[in-house]
Structure 1
Amino acid sequence: MKRCAIYARYSTDKQDVQSIETQLMMCRREVIREGWQEVLCFTDAAESAATMHRPGMKALLAAVAAGSVDIVYADAMDRLSRSQADIATLFDSLRFRGILLATRKEGIVTPLHIGMIGTINAEQLSATSDKTRDALVRRHAMGKNPGGSAYGYEKRIEHDGNGERIRGLQQIVPNEATVVVRIFEDYAAGLSPIAITRRLNADGVPSPRSGKASRHPLGKAAAWTPNTLTGNAARGTGILNNPLYVGRRPYAKQTYRKNPETGKRHAFVNPEDKRSDDVESPALGIVPLELWDRVKSRQAMLSRGRKPRTDLTSLPFFAQQRPRYLLTGKMTCGSCGASYAKSGKTRFGCQGAAKKGPTWCDNRLTIRQDELDARVLAGLASEMLRDNVVAAFLLEYEAETLRLTAETVSARPEREAELANLDHQLGRAKAAILKGVDATVFVDEMKIWTERRKALLA
């Protein structure tokens, strides 16, 4: 009897949670009818099909790599992925291992399905993104909120004559608005973002994320940080850079794209021609224009701008971009769990205490880099080089080396096939450009293909 793994997914938390249960019920009926044996079940709730970086999908791929299944079954191909490249890679990986891919909608999946339906699903995903973006641009042009609510604002619930909720309405939160004005006044008076942050935390003022579940390893509540205030001026992020506080609503200053290697979103500043004009929203103004201008004047005065690369060599080491240290990202404060990072030219200290103040962490101890190195190396010599520890390390090293070697050998044909496909795509794109097609059409894709090609060659 063939071993079958079932996969189910729905896209967002706005969809019906019962969707997964419905998919599983319908899939299980077909599995029983075909005489297969369900051995594993994987699900992803509120996860987009634009990337394979989903917990359930990763677990499914791990089961496939371990040889635990003979068939992968889903309700439809778009449940597995809407990315044309990802569904093709998944299909090739399963076929290489002799695993059957089937869905309730398409039946046994063939290369023809991958080519045709994969293209249709990818196009639907792109069309949905375009429609959503156009709807948000229109909402912004109407003076409504196209995204989330910034600190100082909340949703305003109103309904039209048909009882339907009117989307994009906002109102001022008085308590938070008072804090916003306080931040602007303190900054205009000459206080640094760190000083303002420490005062807010000392006074127990709830931070913008204080109402959400804490992700802190020690369970500490969210606190104000300097970056919450300063953000990124070019992208309009940070409390001190939000023009909505003076009644001007911006939109499309930045866009997000997912890294195909990691599935994480990255922000990119939009060029001027792709930004929407600011829309006047005087009813949502919190900060007086005179105060806003004073803050902008101080920011301009303190701004250093980007220095040319040729000027960097004349700067002292600690004023340049610092290289990663041996223990970068591995040091944490024993009191609050915050990062221990550079606190001066040669010393390390708790960043929680330095930036959030004593109400967050009272650990003001710092340590010199040479002393830190000596302590770590002494610990390695006395603890990590004991015979039993070394023996355990060698066993684990040998086992991991064997596993990686086997994984590399087994994955080589897939990588070679993917490399050949990338070379083919790059060749077609170059040929199209030589024939007169606008090269900018392929810019984003060719960057992704080139980076992926480098990784595959490595």
Structure 2
Amino acid sequence: MAHGTAVLYARYSSDKQREASIDDQLRVCRDYCKAEGIEVVAEYKDYALSGKTDHRPEFRRMIANAPESDYVVVYMFDRFSRDRYDSATYKKMLRECGVRVLSASEKVEDTPEGGLQEGMLELLSEYYVRDLARKVRRGMEGNALKARDNGYRIFGYSTDPETRCYVVNEAEANAVREMFSMHIAGNSVNSIAREMASRGWTTTTGKPVDYNWAWRVLNRRAYTGIYSWGGIEVPGGMPQIIDEVTFARSQAVVPRKRRKDENWDVYRLTGKLYCGLCGKPMHGTAGTGKKGKRYHYYACRESDGCRRPWVRRELLEDSIADAVLETCSDEGRMRMLARRIVEAYAEPGEEEAEMASIEAQIASLEREQHNMTQAAMRGFVTDEMVARNDEIKAQLKNLHNRHGILANFRDEVGDLTEIRVALQAQKKCEPGGGFALCSRGVGGGT
């Protein structure tokens, strides 16, 4: 008879199973512990999670808390894991903590023969899962070849309970036809989704339909009569809701932005031009003259309360273009422009603060990487750890590159305070009625 303390672990794989399955497993485990004189100190339960993976929250919490007991008791060994490699890895980790896994239903002695028996049980459990998956896949492929429903709900169709083939759901099919007509007429996918939602159509989870749902409907070839599942296509396997011509016309529609005023104009200074009176961003706008000619301007928003008159787009943009060309032809002005950029993008101490932050991030990531290396040396390696290690490598590479750039930048710029003083002395235009071309909110007179 065993003695000591134990934690119980129970799980079931499918959300189609009953939660009572967990209670039944725990009841058997409690009876086993009572008969063996073992005290139960904790219980862990994973619902609707497969034993083929170790991505189970309660399972991982149990492993992390391993030293809290002498045993882990499960209903059967396949409840612990259905992957023999995971099973061996985690059982080894538990043994190193002085914890042994026991099955309440499978009598396995703590002997070499018992270890062989346990290994055979694990192998048979994994074989069962893989063989079942193969049989299920074969059955689903057979269904697909006969154009039968494989449990996949398609809007516009219902399933015949006898033949298990798709049949047209007239109410939904009419909505599908209307959606294609709306799309061909120029309505955006978003507007179509909003219209369908306003009529009460919902997803299979009961939520109002959205853009993604509408996009899938408008790109589903099943409506033209083609059945498709897992790479298998059966022409004529679906009742046709729309013809090929309608589908092709919908696919040929080029998505475009829409607004009340369809005349989209380019305002190159948007986001860069600030008013010298109110200090707020100026935006592009347009108006039509008496003879129908369209004129373009930059203006302040009425809500900002600025009384500055609108400024013609061509006048302002051409002036800026001329100034840029003139500046680019003068080496002295180019140097001044470079210094002004430095002034805008590097406040005093900014690069030092960023470098310190990067160094702290590098140190933290290297500590995490070291901890995972130590865990790997003890035999604890998971897919999550491998993926996280790859992420850390990529992050460290980017951080080191950025650190090197900042170091070179600091060496080249020198003392930014002196640059700031020089710039202030050389300013030719103060704010008060002009415009400012700005980046990150820092501007100079133009």
Q: TM-score range by the shorter chain?
A: 0.5 to 0.7
Match of 1:277 among 223, 233, 236: 233
Post-superposition offset of 1:454:
5.0
Cα distance 1:196–1:126, how it changes in 2: closer, same or farther (>3 A)?
same
One-letter code aligned to 2:143: R
* 1:79 lines up with 2:75 in the alignment: no
| SS of equivalent residue, structure 1 residue 157 | coil
- Aligned position for 1:204: 199
Closer/same/farther in 2, CA of residues 40 and 186 from structure 1, 3 Å limit:
same
Shift of 1:293: 2.4
> Which has the greater radius of gyration?
2
Q: Equivalent residue for 2:58? A: 56
Give the structure 2 partner of residue 293 of structure 1: 248
The answer as to whether partners of 2:226 and 2:235 remain within 8 angstroms in 1 is: yes
1:248 to 214, 226, 230: 226
Question: Could you tell me which amino acid in structure 2 is paired with residue 3 of structure 1?
Answer: T
Q: Which residue of 2 aligns with 1:27?
A: 29
Question: What is the SS of the residue equivalent to 2:218?
Answer: helix
Shift in Å at residue 108 of structure 1? 5.5
Asked if residue 186 in structure 1 is aligned to residue 186 in structure 2, the reply is no
Contact 2:9/2:45, CA 8 A, preserved across alignment = yes
The answer on 1:118 being equivalent to 2:122 is yes
Helix, strand or coil at the partner of 1:418? coil
**Percentage of identical aligned residues:** 23
2-structure distance, mates of 1:99, 1:59: 15
Task: Specify which of 39, 42, 63 is matched with residue 40 of structure 1.
Answer: 42
Indicate if the aligned counterparts of 1:100 and 1:108 stay in contact, CA closer than 8 A: no
Report the Cα offset of residue 239 of structure 1.
Answer: 1.0
What is the CA–CA distance in structure 2 between the aligned matches of 1:12 and 1:455, rounded to whole Å?
32
CA distance in 1, matches of 2:368, 2:255: 56
Indicate conservation of the 8 Å contact 1:93/1:414, yes or no: no
The alignment covers a number of residue pairs equal to 281
Q: Superposition pairs for residues 247-266 of structure 1, below 5 Å?
A: 247-252=225-230
| Counterpart residue number, 1:437 | none
Q: Deviations for 1:399-438, whole angstroms, at most 9, x for unmatched residues?
A: xx9xx989986x765421437x89xxxxxxxxxxxxxxxx
Aligned residue type for 2:10 = A
Change (3 A) 1:14 1:194: closer
Post-superposition Cα deviations, 1:87-124, rounded to whole Å, max 9, x if no partner, equal 12211221121111111215367764665433332232
Q: Check 1:279–1:86 CA distance in 2 against 1; reply closer, same or farther (3 A cut).
A: farther
Shift of 1:15: 3.4
The separation in 2 between residues aligned to 1:147 and 1:40, in whole angstroms, is 38
Unpaired stretches in structure 1, ≥5 consecutive residues: 159-165, 212-221, 231-237, 253-274, 304-315, 317-400, 423-446
Residues 25, 126 of structure 1: CA spacing in aligned structure 2 closer, same or farther, 3 A cutoff?
Answer: same
Counterpart selection for 1:136 from 136, 140, 158:
140
Q: Specify the code of the residue in structure 1 equivalent to 2:55.
A: H
Give me the whole-angstrom Cα distance separating, in 2, the residues matched to 1:456 and 1:85: 26
Distance across 2 between alignment mates of 1:8 and 1:106: 18
Provide the TM-score with structure 1 as the length reference.
0.53
Letter in 2 for 1:276: I
- Alpha-carbon contact 1:5-1:38 (below 8 Å) kept: yes
Distance 1:407 1:50 in 2: 27
Q: 1:25 to 1:72 in 2, by over 3 A?
A: same
Whether 1:151 and 2:155 are equivalent positions in the alignment is yes
Could you tell me how far apart the structure 1 residues matched to 2:127 and 2:100 are? 25
Please give the alpha-carbon distance, in whole angstroms, between the structure 2 residues aligned to 1:414 and 1:117.
28
Q: TM-score, normalised by structure 2?
A: 0.55
Given the superposition, is the C-alpha separation of residues 117 and 451 from structure 1 closer, same or farther in structure 2, using an over 3 Å criterion?
Answer: farther
Match of 2:48, SS state, is: coil
Q: 1:296 to 1:111 in 2, by over 3 A?
A: farther
In 1, are the aligned partners of 2:7 and 2:69 still within 8 Å (CA)?
Answer: yes
Shift of 1:243: 1.9
Q: Any stretches of 5+ residues in structure 2 without a counterpart?
A: 257-267, 269-363, 397-446
1:298-345 superposed Cα distances (whole Å, 9 cap, x missing partner): 3xx669xxxxxxxxxxxx9xxxxxxxxxxxxxxxxxxxxxxxxxxxxx
Q: CA deviation at 1:10?
A: 2.0
Cα-Cα RMSD: 3.7
Runs of 4+ in structure 1 deviating by more than 6 angstroms, as ranges, are 404-409, 447-450, 455-458
Q: CA deviation at 1:169?
A: 3.6
Residue 31 of structure 1 deviates from its aligned partner by 0.9
What do residues 253-274 of structure 1 show as CA deviations (whole Å, max 9, x unaligned)? Answer: xxxxxxxxxxxxxxxxxxxxxx
The 3-state SS of whatever aligns with 2:138 is helix
2:208 paired residue number: 223
Q: Which residue of 2 aligns with 1:435?
A: none
Q: Equivalent residue of 2:250, what SS? A: helix
Q: AA paired with 1:35?
A: G
| Alignment match, 2:341 | none
Give the drift of 1:4.
0.8
CA contact (8 A) 1:153 1:173 kept: yes
Q: Cα gap change, 1:79/1:456 in structure 2, threshold over 3 Å: closer, same or farther?
A: farther
Q: Does structure 1 residue 195 correspond to structure 2 residue 156?
A: no
Measured in 2, the distance between the counterparts of 1:286 and 1:193 equals 19
Q: For residues 186 and 27 of structure 2, what CA distance do their matches in structure 1 show?
A: 64
